[in-house]
Amino acid sequence: MTQRQGFKTNEFVVYPAHGVGQILAIEEQEIAGARLELFVISFIKDKMTLRVPTAKVINVGMRKLSDPALVKRALDTLKGRARIKRTMWSRRAQEYEAKINSGDIVAIAEVVRDLYRSESQPEQSYSERQLYEAALDRLSREIAVVQHITETEAIKEVEANLAKSPRRGAAKADADAAADATGEASDDEDGDDDSLSEDEAA
């Protein structure tokens, strides 16, 4: 077992831009006269193989799988109340995409939670659906590998946790309708919280 930066062959890792992959081998190549050591990472579902210089793994944000406690935190996040900012969709879509590609399992769970629609809720737009499915795919793949279950089982676990979140279904629709009627947002407080945390982040 060769070890580089704490990573070894056959290990599953998370590569932020592509999700869960497996290190198949560690190769050496000569590029412009310099010897370069590379991780060969396979992403089976995407039918893709990536070669990443071992010295660059920290820069690209490659990490080990989340531990079970962090997976539990991500699943608990799904039970929370959706926090939708009242900003233009294009801006929110960029933020969701950044979270999905951050490789942070809790941030990805937040996207799944915020974009989830139960059957009794209005349909998602095409772009919302795409982002939701991308986040769900990333989240369920990592849960499946960590918990040694199939992806289908992981998706069921995610959906079961989403079903426990408040204001789903009719109650949510009623709250929105009431908010529209009074001209007040039903979750203004969340908007304030979000804008505050956004300022702090900036």
Digit-coded pLDDT (tens) for 28-76: 988 888 888 999 999 988 889 999 999 888 889 999 999 999 999 999 9
Phi and psi at residue 26, to the nearest 5°: -125, 120
Do residues 59 and 73 share a domain?
Answer: no
The set of long-range contacts for 93-99, using a CB threshold of 8 Å and a minimum separation of 24, is: 93/127, 93/131, 96/131, 96/135, 97/131, 99/135
Amino acid 3: pLDDT: 52
**73 inside domain:** yes
CB atoms within 10 A of CB 135: 25
- Cα angle 124-129-82, degrees, rounded to a multiple of 5: 70
pLDDT band (50, 70, 90) for residue 85: confident
Do residues 73 and 157 share a domain?
Answer: yes
**194 inside domain:** no
**Cβ atoms of residues 154 and 140 within 8 Å:** yes
- pTM for the full model? 0.78
Q: Rounded distance, CA 148 to CA 154, Å?
A: 9
Amino acid 188: pLDDT: 39
**189 inside domain:** no
- Cα angle 186-191-194, degrees, rounded to a multiple of 5: 150
Do residues 147 and 159 share a domain?
Answer: yes
Q: Which residue from 21, 56, 22 is spatially nearest to 38, judged by alpha carbons?
A: 56
**26 inside domain:** yes
Sort 41 into a burial class: Cβ within 10 Å, 0-12 / 13-18 / 19+: buried
**84 inside domain:** yes
Number of structural domains the chain divides into: 2
Domain extent for 40: 7-64
Do residues 97 and 118 share a domain?
Answer: yes
Amino acid 121: pLDDT: 77
Q: What is the mean pLDDT of residues 160-168?
A: 83
Do residues 136 and 78 share a domain?
Answer: yes
CATH of the domain at 126: 1.20.58.1290
Do residues 144 and 158 share a domain?
Answer: yes
Q: Which residue from 103, 102, 8, 104 is spatially nearest to 54, judged by alpha carbons?
A: 8
**127 inside domain:** yes
Q: What is the dihedral of CA 145, 146, 147, 153, to 10 degrees?
A: -40
User: Does 92 have pLDDT greater than 80?
Assistant: yes
**185 inside domain:** no
Do residues 94 and 13 share a domain?
Answer: no
Which residues have a Cβ under 8 Å from the Cβ of 48 and sit 6 or more positions away? 18, 42
Do residues 123 and 50 share a domain?
Answer: no
pLDDT in tens, 178-200: 444 444 443 433 444 443 333 33
Amino acid 97: pLDDT: 96
